[in-house]
Amino acid sequence: MTEKKNNIIQAALKLFTCTGFHACSTSKVAKQAKVSEGLIFKHFKNKEGLLQAILVEGEEKSKKLFYPILSAETPQQILKRTLELPFRIKGDDFEFWKLQYKLKWELEYDHSKKMQPLMDRLTEAFTALDYSNPEMEAQFLLYTLDGIAASLLKGALNNETELHDYLMNKYNV
């Protein structure tokens, strides 16, 4: 990975995130990255390829975020770490996850597959904790966290820690 190639990815991540994929032209990405526009197409073939490169880079971030849950050893741990999920997004990752949510709507991306392992572990935890309907309980919690993450990424959440505490209290962890 050359410096300029990386510049392109960072510039695109920033601009796609703040203006959207379709509303951001390759010429603007090139300008922001301080490279010639042609270089984008040399490295990524086309605009879609540039987006895919960003998404592939983000896979690691995805794994980094989910790993604590997938590797948890007790139901309490699974639950606790799941409740932390939206609040662990910060810094560089913030932009990436915001882009994910934008793409979900702009390009109708589906990441239910990505969430399935999480769903499974949560169901497992709720089963162990004797909840009467573990599957629904897991689905319900993931929707809630999705709503919270959406609000957080849009910058509309002003009581993060209070909400997190409330959640932990609600689920007794």
Partner DNA sequence: GGTTTTAAAGTGAGTACTTACTTACCTTTT
Partner DNA sequence: AAAAGGTAAGTAAGTACTCACTTTAAAACC
By CB under 7 A, name the binding residues for DNA. 2-5, 24-28, 35-39, 41-43, 45-48
Is 108 a binding residue for a second copy by CB under 8 A? The answer is yes
* Number of residues lying near a second copy (CB under 8 A): 31
Number of residues that this document lists for the chain = 173
Rounded Cα distance, 115 and 148, in Å: 16
Q: Which is nearer to DNA, 35 or 138 (CB)?
A: 35
Is 64 a binding residue for a second copy by CB under 8 A? The answer is no
Binding mask 127-156 for a second copy (x = CB under 8 A): ------x--x--xx-xxxxxxx-xx--x-x
164: number of Cβ within 10 Å: 15
The partner in contact with residue 66, picked from a second copy, DNA, none with C-beta cut-offs of 5 to 8 angstroms by kind, is none
The pair phi, psi for residue 129, each rounded to 5°, is -90, 10
Among 7, 14, 20, 124, binds a second copy (CB under 8 A): 20
The partner in contact with residue 5, picked from DNA, a second copy, none with C-beta cut-offs of 5 to 8 angstroms by kind, is DNA
34, amino acid identity: K
125: number of Cβ within 10 Å: 26
Is 49 a binding residue for a second copy by CB under 8 A? The answer is no
Rounded Cα distance, 114 and 126, in Å: 20
35: number of Cβ within 10 Å: 19
Burial of 146 (0-12, 13-18, 19+ CB in 10 A): middle
- Contact residues toward a second copy (CB under 8 A) are 20, 22-23, 101-102, 104-106, 108, 110, 112, 133, 136, 139-140, 142-148, 150-151, 154, 156, 162-163, 166-167, 170
